[in-house]
Chain A
Amino acid sequence: MKHPPDSATWRRSGRLIRAAAIVAALAWSLVPIYWMLATSLKTEIEATRLDPTLWPHAPTLANYRGLFGGSLPFLSFFTNTVITCLVTAVVAVVLATPAAYALSRARFRLRAAFGYSILVFRMLPLVVLLAPLYLLLLNVHLLDSYAGLIVGFTTFGLPFAVWMLKSFIDALPPEIEEAARIDGYPRWQILLKVVAPLIVPGLLTTGTFVFMEAWNNLIYPLTFVTTLEKQTLPAALVLTFTGQFKTDWGGMMAAAAITTLPLMIAFFAVQRSMVRGLTSGAVAGA
C-alpha cells in the first residue's frame, strides 16, 4: 500500500530547497567579491593564466605595495575620494535636515507637491543632469576641483537625504516639539536642540548613504575632473588599469578592494538603522 509523503518529509525537502536558494543567492553576490580579493593576492602570471586558479597559490601583497609605491598617485585618488565624499555627506545632511523638518512638520500650501518634486529630481537618470551640471560648473569655474565634484554629488544625494530624514522626523512624537514650543523655544532652536539630537541615528545613516552614493559615482568625476591627480578612485580605476594592450588585473583588483572596503565598513556600521530608515512609516508603530 502506498503512503503519501508524510509532512516530515515535506518539511525536510522544503528546508533543503530554501537552503539551496540561500546558497545560490549568497554565491551570486559573494563570488565576485571573493574573485576580486583572490585576484588581488595573486602574482601577475597567476592572475593572467588561461586556466584560472580558484585561490592564490602563492599569495602576495605585491599588488597592494605596487599601488602605493608605483608611478600612479594612488594615495591622491584615495584622499580625493574620501574628502569629496565626506564633505558631500556633511553638506547634504546639513542642508537636508531643515528641509526635511519643514516637509515633515510645517503645514503650507503645495507641501505635498513640493515634496514630490524633490523626489522626481531623484528619478532622473544621472546622465540627464550631466550636461547642465557641466555647463553650470564651467560657468562658475568649478570644473576640475573638489568644490565642483561636491556640488555634483550633492545635487544627487540631497533629494534622497531629505526624504530619508523626513521619515525619521515623522516618527518622532509631535508632543516633544510642542513641549519645547510651550517652553518658549523658536522653531530653529527646537530643530537644533530637540529634533536633531533625537534623530542622530538618522543623520548618521543618511550621511553614510549619501557618502556611499558619492563614492560609487563614476560618471561625474569622469566628466567634471580632467587632471588625473584630482581624480576619484572609481574613475581612476577605469582610467589607469585598463589599457589597450595590457590590463594589470592584479593591480586593478587590489585597487578595487581598497575602493570597496570603506564602503563595506560604512554599510555594516549603519545597516541596522538604514533598513529602519528605509522602511519606517511603512507600518503603524514602526
Chain B
Amino acid sequence: MASISLRNVEKRYDDVPVLRDCNLDIRDREFVVLVGPSGSGKTTLLRIIAGLEHVSAGELRFDDVRVNEVDVGDRDIAMVFQNYGLYPHMSVYDNMAFGLRRRKLAAREIDRRVRSTAAMLDIEPFLNRRPRQLSGGQRQRVALGRAIVRDPAVFLLDEPLSNLDAHLRVQMRAEILRVHRAVTATAVYVTHDQVEALTMGDRIAVMNAGRIHQVGTPDELYDFPVDRFVASFIGTPAMGFIECRIARSQARTELAAEGTRIRVGEAHANVLLRSDSRDVTVGIRPERLALASLDEGQTSDVAIRGRVEAVEMLGSEQYVHVVVDGGAVTARVPRSQRVRAEDNVTLKADAQDVHLFERATGLALR
C-alpha cells in the first residue's frame, strides 16, 4: 500500500546522463509498466525506486514522504530479478523465509506465510529443493513467492519473464496479474516487450534514451501517441511513416508525396492550419490499411501507391511491407488476397486513421 512519485529524477554515471528529468506518479495498488528499448534507462529507474541506486538529482516519494535517503532494507519493497537472484545455497523454503526471519517474525508465523504463499504459486512440492534443482518456470515462481511472502508495500519486477520460453511467458503473465490482484501492493514492472506492457499494465510509461516519453493507459498510448517514438514502439507490426508536403487550397487540405495522396479530415486540417510547417510525417497503423484497386484509390481519402518489399505469412493473416516514396508502411491484410514481393500495390485508409507528426521534432500534431 503505497503511492510512488518521481519528481525531476536525474541519474548520471561519471557525468554520463542515463536518466533525465523523469516525472512519474504511480497510484496505490496500481500496476505500472516501464517499457522501452535496451539502454532506455527503465531498469535504472526501477533500481532507483528499489533504493539499489541513488538519484543524482530530483526526489523520490513513497506516500508523499521523501525516501531518497532511506536504505533499501527500510523501504518495504520486494523485487523480482531478471535472473531470479535466488539464494543458491538455501532451500526454496529458506529462500522465502530469509526475509521474514530478518523481520523477527515468530517461527510459526513464518511457516504459515511460507506455506500459504507456496500454495498460491503451486510450489509446495519443491519447498525442500535447492534452486538449481528447479526448472526456469519453477524458479520464477519461487522468486515471485519470495517477493510476495513479505507482503511488501511495493512490488518491483525487472524483466521477470525474459528468460522463459514463449508459452510459459504467456502463462506467467496471467499468473503475475493474478498474484498482484491477490496482494495489496503497488507494482512496477520493467520490460522491453511492448506486448507484455500492453497486456499487463494499468498504465505504461514509455521510455527512450533516459527520458519518459509518455505515460498512459494502453489505449491512450496506442490511439494517441505523443510522438513518433511512442507511435513506432507501441504496436506490432510497427506504425508506418511517410514524409508528406502540405498542399492547401480553398476547398481542402491535402498531404502529398510521390504516389501518396491524403485528404485530411476537418480536425486534422485545423491542426495543420495552426502549424506553420510545410512538411509533416504521416503515420498509419497496419490494421488501418487495406489493399485497394486503382479505382478505389481515386475515391479513397487516403491512397498510397508503392512496391511490395516483403510479405510475412502469419497463418490467419499476412503483413505486407510496402516501400513508398518518402517512407514505408505495413498493411495487415487477409490471406485470401494474393500479394507477392515486387508487386506494385495501392493501399487505402480512412482520413481519421492518420496520425500526424511534426517532421523536425517528431511530436504529434493534434
Contacts and interface: CB of A to CB of B under 8 A. Distances in A.
B103 A179 contact: no
Nearest to B81: A175
B153 interface: no
B87 A179 contact: yes
A239 to B, nearest CB: 47
A185 B102 contact: yes
Nearest to B85: A175
Nearest to B147: A182
B79 A176 contact: no
Contacts of B103: 184
Contacts of A270: none
A183 B102 contact: yes
Contact of B50 (A173, A176, A182, A198): A182
Contact of A178 (B79, B89, B99, B102): B79
Contacts of B81: 175, 178-179
Contacts of A184: 73-74, 99, 102-103
A215 B52 CA distance: 44
A181 B88 contact: no
Interface in A159-177: 173, 175-176
A182 B87 contact: no
A192 to B, nearest CB: 12
B99 A176 contact: no
B113 to A, nearest CB: 14
Contact of A180 (B74, B88, B98): B98
Contact of B78 (A180, A182, A198): A182
A17 interface: no
B72 interface: yes
Contacts of A180: 87, 98
Contacts, number: 53
Contacts of A198: 88-89
A144 to B, nearest CB: 43
B86 A183 contact: no
Given A197-B89, A198-B89, A183 B83 contact: no
A285 to B, nearest CB: 13
Interface residues of B, number: 23
A182 B103 CA distance: 12
A273 to B, nearest CB: 16
B29 interface: no
A183 B75 CA distance: 10
A9 to B, nearest CB: 49
Given A178-B52, A178-B79, A183 B99 contact: yes
B102 A179 contact: no
Nearest to A194: B87
Contacts of A181: 52, 72-73
Given A184-B73, A184-B99, A185-B102, A179 B89 contact: no
Contact of B72 (A182, A194, A197): A182
B264 interface: no
Nearest to A174: B85
Contact of A176 (B72, B73, B86, B102): B86
Contact of B85 (A178, A185, A197): A178
A163 B85 CA distance: 25
Interface in B175-195: none
Interface string B167-210: 00000000000000000000000000000000000000000000
B73 A173 contact: no
Contacts of B284: none
14 contacts: A173-B85, A175-B85, A176-B85, A176-B87, A178-B81, A179-B79, A179-B86, A181-B52, A181-B72, A182-B73, A183-B98, A184-B73, A184-B102, A198-B89
Interface of B: 50, 52, 72-74, 77-79, 81-89, 98-99, 102-103, 146, 150
Given A179-B81, A180-B98, A198-B88, 9 more contacts: A173-B85, A175-B82, A178-B85, A182-B72, A183-B73, A183-B102, A186-B73, A194-B87, A197-B89
